[in-house]
Amino acid sequence: MMKLLVSVRSLKEAKEAVEGGADIVDVKNPGEGALGASTPNLVFKIRSKLRNVELSATLGDLPNLPGTASFAAFGAAMAGADYVKVGLFGSTTLSDAIRLSSKVVKACRGTGSKVVLAAYADYKRFNGLNPLLLPKVASASGADGVLVDVRRKDGGCVFDYLTKGELMKLSAEACGLGLISALAGGLNAADVRCVQRLGFHIFGVRRAVCRVMRNGSRVLDRSLVATLHRLIREVKKTIT
């Protein structure tokens, strides 16, 4: 069954996500970017309080600095993350992406943490790495999974930048290599059936499960998480 990943900024939000039925709690700081890093302290705190949930931690929209990336990855793994998400922002070529990813995989070896490599559907806007190369990078570096997200959170959606055919090809290639595949970037409840049919294992959200407050801030709402989680389960039944 496709899993629901919910990105959180605090322990309180993590608890809300779990109460709503999130399969994976993803710790990140949206203020630092699409895959903005939080702190190892928060990851450790959430891990200590929520022992039975799968926990993901983002390392940030990383520059092409393999040593820096590997230190960050080791910290996330030691703090208790089951998944370490690597934003390949500064790695614009295939060789650079493989080199950085290999260092991260090596840093996480023996920790029990899975490495998920992320690239951005809107890569052409900043001359980034084509996300369709992710399965090749993951296979060459020994990573466990791939994620396609959107870099600039300006109301756009992943489907604004990549076709469903391209995304299906990516997920099929990842599956053939034994990789986890995840999709995020402006997704909402209306996209569940499509993402399921495209073959992705993980459906990632934040905006879709947040209430917008009067001051413009977004607050995670467990009822919205529960509604989305229920829809994913129902869609799975109708498709199979």
3-state secondary structure the chain: CCEEEEEECCHHHHHHHHHHCCCEEEECCHHHCCCCCCCHHHHHHHHHHCCCCEEEEEEEECCCCHHHHHHHHHHHHHHCCCEEEEECCCCCCHHHHHHHHHHHHHHHCCCCCEEEEEEECCHHHCCCCCHHHHHHHHHHHCCCEEEEECCCCCCCCHHHCCCHHHHHHHHHHHHHCCCEEEECCCCCHHHHHHHHHHCCCEEEECHHHEEECCCCCEEECHHHHHHHHHHHHHHHHHHC
The pLDDT tens digits of the residues spanning 208-219 come to: 999 988 887 889
pLDDT of residue 145: 98
Catalytic-labelled residue, pool 28, 45, 106, 124 = 28
- What are the residue ranges spanned by the domains of the chain? 3-239
CA–CA separation, 56 and 76 (whole Å): 9
Catalytic residue among 3, 12, 45, 85, which? 85
pLDDT recorded at residue 196: 96
Q: Are 221 and 185 in contact (CB under 8 A)?
A: no
Let me know if 28 is a catalytic residue: yes
Per-residue pLDDT, averaged over 9-32, amounts to: 97
Confidence at residue 174, expressed as pLDDT on a 0 to 100 scale = 98
153: annotated active-site residue: no
pTM of the model: 0.96
Judge: domain 3-239, CATH 3.20.20.380.
yes
